[in-house]
Amino acid sequence: MNRKVYLDHNASTPVHPEVVEAMLPYWSERFGNPSSVHGFGREAREGLETAREQVAHFLRAGKEEIVFTSGGTESDNMAIKGVAMGRGRGHLITSKIEHHAVLRAMQNLETLGFEATYLDVDGDGLVDPDAVRRAIRPDTILISIMHANSEIGTIQPAREIGAIAHEHGIPFHVDAVQTFGKAPIDLDAFHIDMLSFSGHKIYGPKGVAGLYIRRGTKMVSVQHGGEHERRRRAGTENVTGIVGLGRAVEIRGRDMAEEAVRVTALRDRLWEGIRSQVPDVRLNGHPTRRLPGTCNICFRQVESESIVLGLDLKGIGVSAGSACTSGNVEPSYVLVAMGVPVEWSMGAVRHSLGRSTTVEDIDYVIESTVPLVAKLRSVMPVRA
């Protein structure tokens, strides 16, 4: 029987048992609609507002600055479209390696007459703050740069970019779905006006996330209906999920710093183990300025899906950097933006570690990867 090793925590995480415990009463005991005035509603409202306090405390923000949503994608859309629609026209700045939720929201706005600049990144996946400065125009209405990319884990210079945005009086949105609860975020020091975060990346439930909106940020609602979330996001709140998110955030506040040290060491052990035993590999992303648990490795001239399948057969869950569908392959747009040559990027595999990852897990992954890559390379034809 194979071990089971889950190294795809950037995709999703198992719900923490303490989170499950916190959520349980809200399925069938405290099930009321938080907008209702009766006792059932007040019980649900209490859970909702406790979660809001937990998130606000973690971010050192005001309770009224936290809006709950259904996912990171909704948070990104709310931030970007909310600011843009409030202004009616203008120019937005982002990077080429943002999540599709940001890139496609920008593209949608372009069809409506807005203009967008997509900034390049360097070979480590970093956005140059000076490039942000140079891209600013008199009509720039928003700068949206992610805190860390999910594929490579490179942590962007948010503090420097935020200072530039602040200096020019431009709202600064940060998609922090991958860093929230994993790396420190200082809203004031980074001059962040809006910050997207999600529950299921931090051992909370899926389908619940949020957006921090700094007091005074000018934006409009993009979802209309009732008076929920201070009229910023219509729709009955997912109380059970939000209670779970609040508890998950509280646990991250307790465990984050210690876990980051432990997981970083495991991440580096993984890379060192593979680097020392497998020829023709490269690490993608910044060598040090990177999410604690993210290790994206290119295996030159090996197709990443064959590695993912081979490891899956050993009980190991990792993700492929290139997606092959119906005979068309799409190398990762993130690696393309970083200038990674195609013979490398086709063999990109992302390992994302988490709180349950152990030394034994990492050693098992190394032991499984070394012969697998050798075997795949042994059947590989030399291209003419």
Partner 1 sequence: MQYSPTLIDHFRNPRNAGIMRNPDGVGEGEYKDCMDLVRFHLRVRDGMVMEARFQAYGCGPTIAAASAATEVATGCTLDALLEVEAARVEAAVGGLPELRRHAADVAVLGLRAAARDALSRAAETRSDRDA
Residue placing its CB nearer to partner 1 in the complex, 260 or 329: 329
Q: Which is nearer to partner 1, 295 or 320 (CB)?
A: 320
Residue with smaller CB distance to partner 1, 260 or 324:
324
**Min. distance of Cβ 345 from partner 1 in angstroms?**
11
Residue 215: CB minimum distance to partner 1, A = 47
Between 288 and 378, CB nearer to partner 1: 378
**DSSP string of 88-104?**
SS-EEEEETTS-HHHHH
Q: What is the DSSP letter of 120?
A: -
Q: Shortest CA distance to 165 belongs to which of 141, 139, 184?
A: 141
Residue 58 CB-half CA count within 13 A? 29
- 328-330/323-325 β-pairing: antiparallel
Produce one character per residue of 136-157: b if its CB has 16 or more CB atoms within 10 Å, e if not: beeebbbbbbbbbbbbbbbbbb
Instruction: Give first-to-last CA distance, the chain, whole Å.
Output: 41
Question: What are the φ and ψ backbone dihedral angles of 211, each rounded to 5 degrees?
Answer: -135, 125
Name the residue with tokens 């680097």.
275
Task: Return the number of the residue (261 or 382) whose C-beta is nearest partner 1.
Answer: 382
Q: Which of 20, 24, 324, 329 is catalytic?
A: 324
The residue assigned the tokens 């291209």 is: 383
The DSSP symbol for 204 reads: S
Least distance from partner 1 to the Cβ atom of residue 376, Å: 7
- Name the residue nearer to partner 1 (CB basis): 311 or 365: 311
Q: Let me know if 324 is a catalytic residue.
A: yes
- In angstroms, give the least distance from the CB of 363 to partner 1: 22
- Minimal distance, residue 325 CB to partner 1, in Å: 5
Task: Round to whole Å and give the CA distance between 7 and 353.
Answer: 5
CB of 344 to partner 1, least distance (A): 12
CA proximity to 124, closest of 295, 339, 271, 343:
339
Positions touching partner 1 (CB under 8 A) are 301-303, 305-306, 309-310, 313, 324-329, 342, 346, 376, 378-381, 383
The Cα 251–Cα 17 span in angstroms is 11
The helix (H) or strand (E) run that includes residue 75 is helix 72-87
Task: Please tell me the distance from the alpha carbon of residue 32 to that of residue 50, in angstroms, as a whole number.
Answer: 15
The catalytic residue positions are 324
